[in-house]
Structure 1
């Protein structure tokens, strides 16, 4: 399961970002770049937190890292509660957290505000801008500065059985008329983007405006109405954890999912495997291109690291083109490096191509500290509209309360 899916499904408030001695780095307020020649001869030791399933692939990369940085010892361990909870884990005791850790981009704003991470150095900033696609640069930017190294991108797409149709329908109504499509309306990562596709904004156009959410408009009410309509749509199956099982059994011929399940879906469908971008849909005011949340996986350097030179060298190395391609092959992590996206294997992979194309239509996950509150409140907002627990007469009131709550939250 991917990082943001875990966040959206948890619906549990993360612990407060207390000012635990993390309000700035005693070593300086700006990360040390790893691109200078002196880092090659630097002696040091750092720790790295990554998701449990990816520890082995990162250990392989460290072997290559040590060919260039032979005097930097790296200890790779799994994140205490997974990268989805990086902010929570680091905040418990920043001084004891890893020097470098995997973290989804939507947590960067809160971590920057709390002082758990520092802006990248000018040279590291230039390196990221040169190495990675623009959406990845935007993903790690907060208030005009970069705070982490981008590694991969994710977005929901549609997987489908080519035995059912050689080409996936282009519109949601046509798609669901042809075959049941499996999804999960309890997951706001999947379905909040309907509000965005229908013209509303989440924390403003820039994703950094605390009072910039306008879901409590006509467009938002239309989105809620559309959710309720899907409950009665025989071509939509609420599956939750049975998503892949029902595809395998043939109960569904298509699912809404992300690249994290790409290999499994390929095994299920075999030669009939198909992947495509999300279709268009009419939410009440004409056909609109469906959106997903695009998220970027990043590596951040702990502001309390005892060895920021070694930590920055490691984070940058693990984010370069070669490392991104290695992680793509090992973990299905869709690269964000400009050169990696041109790689021959990536260019012929239907999952990678669908994700890369879908991201062009998506809304980048905001990095506001209020995102923790957003995830907690968005899930029941959508699910209750879908199940009918919230009647249509209460849509406006529910949306008003939702917007007020996330706009006034401190995190």
Structure 2
């Protein structure tokens, strides 16, 4: 009986050994496991990313860079073409069919949030806030909640000047600029009858431009400070050095040298650079002397943003992708390939961006810029009408003019 039991035990041990050897041989033989194509460990995430047509090559490159940051997991990221101007309408038409991550213009953020289309950013919020310009973070924040990742800050304006006429020091003060231009028989261009630009004076002086709980515009530009601002604008427009008008007037004056300073944006960089030559220069908007107080002019600013779809199946991975696409390295690469101005503070201070005269000036002004996300449609026509009054040399009572403008805007 003992011999039979021992024999059975030996047979069992031999069988176990054979199974172990077979398993080991199979594990060491790629031919027994999908010809060596072993399945990758970790999880698999399927994501869709939308961006403009012009961004597709860059996005393809950045996506591969992103995958390399998490080699333990598999990412299947599908690119789609939806430009920032069309993002809101496309997303709201069919949220479920929209991308997990998509690019949009920041002035669409309120409508997207109201429709429940944007996922609140919860990962690395403090780090993202610290890394970007204050204006860029404000542009993606509603009710103290962040809903997007800014990745450009290049839709704004600043001061171009001809340094062969206006010195760098003079360019810091509107009074100095106007005095020098007048003394030289030259002009300074500012589009006062455009609500986008004239806001600089009121916002710089601390004027309020907000959205009320009822969705209507709220502003205080007709208070005591606002009246001082209005009178400053009136005197500014009276200067023999002041010139305004359509783009054709600006272009002609830049080309013939009669305009030696102008407030505009990056879209004029090539024109101004070619015309001013060695004198080509740009910087933030100047300060003004407002009743003895030095006031830095502000500006409206627009930002491009990545948002995360609320119906994404992988919110953490989608947020990680959006954060990567908008980080310092990606913004520098975007500038190098697309010449788009960064919202990232370090990227904006990089040698590459600082070598670009217009973008460097825009970055300088970005510190003083505010987002347009709280500007509603009722603002533009009355603001432009007030600017037109100033351009036309109106002598009407300033308080009355401002009261009328504010009343119309707040309707």
Same fold (TM over 0.5): yes
Where 2:161 maps in the other structure, the secondary structure is: strand
- Given candidates 219, 241, 244, the residue that maps to 1:238 is 244
Q: 1:232 to 1:267 in 2, by over 3 A?
A: same
Contact 2:118 2:147 survives alignment (8 Å): yes
Q: Report the CA distance between 1:351 and its aligned residue.
A: 3.2
Structure 2 unaligned blocks of 5 or more:
1-39, 68-73
**Structure 2 residue aligned with 1:74:** 78
- Given candidates 53, 56, 61, the residue that maps to 1:63 is 61
Q: What does 1:12-411 correspond to in 2, within 5 Å? A: 42-50=44-52, 55-69=53-67, 71-79=75-83, 83=85, 86-87=87-88, 90-95=91-96, 99-120=100-121, 122-129=122-129, 131-154=131-154, 155-167=156-168, 169=170, 170-177=172-179, 178=181, 179-203=186-210, 213-242=219-248, 243-283=250-290, 286-304=293-311, 311-360=318-367, 362-365=368-371, 367-368=373-374, 371-375=376-380, 377-387=382-392, 391-392=396-397, 394-402=400-408, 404-405=410-411
Q: 1:112 to 1:173 in 2, by over 3 A?
A: same
Q: 1:167 to 1:67 in 2, by over 3 A?
A: closer
**Structure 2 residue aligned with 1:24:** none
Contact 1:203 1:366 survives alignment (8 Å): no
If the length of structure 1 is used for normalisation, what is the TM-score? 0.73
Q: 1:400 to 1:208 in 2, by over 3 A?
A: closer
User: Which 4+ stretches in 1 moved above 6 angstroms?
Assistant: 206-211
Contact 1:381 1:398 survives alignment (8 Å): no
Report Cα offsets for 1:11-51 as digits up to 9, x if no partner: xxxxxxxxxxxxxxxxxxxxxxxxxxx9996443524143x
Greater relative contact order, per chain length (Cα 8 Å cut-off, separation 6+): 1
Structure 1 unaligned blocks of 5 or more:
1-37, 406-411
Where 1:335 maps in the other structure, the secondary structure is: coil
Q: 1:64 to 1:89 in 2, by over 3 A?
A: closer
Structure-1 separation of matches of 2:257 and 2:239: 19
Contact 2:232 2:290 survives alignment (8 Å): yes
Where 1:334 maps in the other structure, the secondary structure is: coil
Q: 1:39 to 1:307 in 2, by over 3 A?
A: farther
**Structure 2 residue aligned with 1:26:** none
Q: 1:337 to 1:168 in 2, by over 3 A?
A: same
Larger radius of gyration: 2
Number of residue pairs matched?
357
Report Cα offsets for 1:336-383 as digits up to 9, x if no partner: 2243234222344443443333333x2422533x53443454333433
Q: 1:385 to 1:269 in 2, by over 3 A?
A: closer
Q: 1:310 to 1:287 in 2, by over 3 A?
A: closer
Report Cα offsets for 1:286-340 as digits up to 9, x if no partner: 5422222244332223335577566545422321212201222234322222432
Contact 2:308 2:322 survives alignment (8 Å): yes
Q: 1:73 to 1:88 in 2, by over 3 A?
A: closer
**Mean alpha-carbon deviation: is it higher for 294-303 or for 209-218?**
209-218
